[in-house]
Amino acid sequence: MRIAIITETFLPSTDGIVTRLCASIRWLKNNGHEVLIIAPDLGVTDFEGTPVAGVPAYTFFLYKDKKFSFLSRKVKSYLLNFQPNLVHVVNPAFLGVAGIFYAKRLMFPLVASYHTNVPKYADYYHLSFLKPALWWYFRTLHNRADLNLCTSQSVLTELKEKKFKNIHYWKRGVDTEQYHPYRFNAAMRERLTAGQKDKKLLLYVGRLAPEKDIEKIRLVLEQSNDFCLAIVGDGPHRAFLEQYFKDTDTVFTGFLHGDELASAYASSDIFVFPSTTETLGLVLLEAMASGLPVVAAKSGPTSEQVNDGITGLLYTNQNEFVRLIFELKDGSFRLKLGQQACTVSQMVGWDAPSNQLLDFYKETFSKHRQPAKVLRENHLYK
């Protein structure tokens, strides 16, 4: 198949969406399919032999540390030149609007996938009054697609309640070769603990933003001198967090990638995940595959990934969070949870979700019977 993937975010940005896309594109290419990536122009023109077609990107006033692309006729040109069998719009919000518009106008089969629960973020930015309008906006975009995907069963249920149409669950995955306990590195542990390597090392990995609730971790450091914290990632909340965690045993590393990130996981003791706004949280699987027990805020997506008391621990309030962290001072309990997390996660790879994605593509393509070649050729002259 020839597949055009239009995404709001791609390399060099780092998040769960990019991780999933890279794994899926790599699998599709290795299995003989041709992909064109249409994304904000951030200087990347190629991903492992797959072309990246850039669209001019600009700073958005509500999120100044990241650039976004908006409506652009370049999307139409790219689609007409590539002539895909199918268009997949990832997390439509800005650039994705152009993707949906031109895919429908040119009559290409259209898949859309939902990855970010933006309406929930509104509460953290004092914009709660916008939630009904945000749900309307994203529902309108997604309901233009022939088929919609989301990354957890709990989000699927929520989207159905919000009247999203033809929504399906896209399985989770993790790179089990990259993320593994054998990635432990003594120098990385020295770096993350700032030399206090005998302390229990808590690890957070992800975007640094208000909706992540990272501040909640500080209470553990205040109540016990047995722990230190490493925060891996970057984002608009970093300056605030660096001030908030001042005078605690906390190290900020910025983004880590590849082997460095894998070593950061495997060289830590406990992975902490305070957020309740995720649609999945791929970092949970990366941590578990690396042999870390997870302590996560209980939500639909975390409950799907963490078997409470078996592969990690789930909490519902701040006091419970601190108590569960303290329970993991027990090395045998911590090791047991980590080993069980690793065993379960190492059975999950990217082949199954990528093959499932291809099945969704084939299903959508086969149902899209209306001939469109003449219409697309006519658009070349408009």
What's the rounded Cα separation, in Å, for the pair 291 and 360? 32
Predicted confidence at residue 369, as pLDDT, reads 61
CB 217 within 8 A of CB 204: yes
Output 281 or 184, whichever has higher pLDDT: 184
pLDDT above 50 (res 318): yes
Assign residue 334 a region (left: φ > 0; alpha: ψ between -120 and 50; beta: otherwise).
Answer: alpha
pLDDT at site 322: 97
Least confident of 168-182, 217-231, 286-300, 360-374: 360-374
Q: What's the rounded Cα separation, in Å, for the pair 138 and 135?
A: 5
Determine the pLDDT at residue 374.
44
Mode of pairing for the β-strands spanning 294-297 and 270-273 = parallel
Neighbours of 97 (CB within 10 A): 21
**Within 10 Å of residue 72's Cβ, how many Cβ atoms?**
18
Q: Which domains does the chain have, with CATH numbers?
A: 2-173+350-379 (3.40.50.2000), 181-345 (3.40.50.2000)
Query: What percent of the chain shows pLDDT beyond 90?
Result: 90
Average pLDDT over residues 278-284: 91
Q: Which of 297, 327, 214 is closest to 284 using CA atoms?
A: 297
* Residue 110 parent element (H or E): strand 110-114
> Which single residue is written with the structure tokens 């190290």?
251
* CB 106, CB 76: distance < 8 Å: yes
Instruction: For tokens 């990107």, name the residue.
Output: 57
Report the C-alpha gap between 82 and 34 in whole angstroms. Answer: 10
pLDDT at position 192, please?
Answer: 98
- pLDDT for the residue 63: 65
pLDDT band at 279 (very low <50, low <70, confident <90, very high): confident
Average of pLDDT values for 72-94? Answer: 97
pLDDT of residue 376: 52
Q: What is the pLDDT of residues 217-240, one digit of tens each?
A: 999 999 999 999 999 999 999 999
pLDDT on residue 368: 83
Q: What is the pLDDT of residue 381?
A: 41
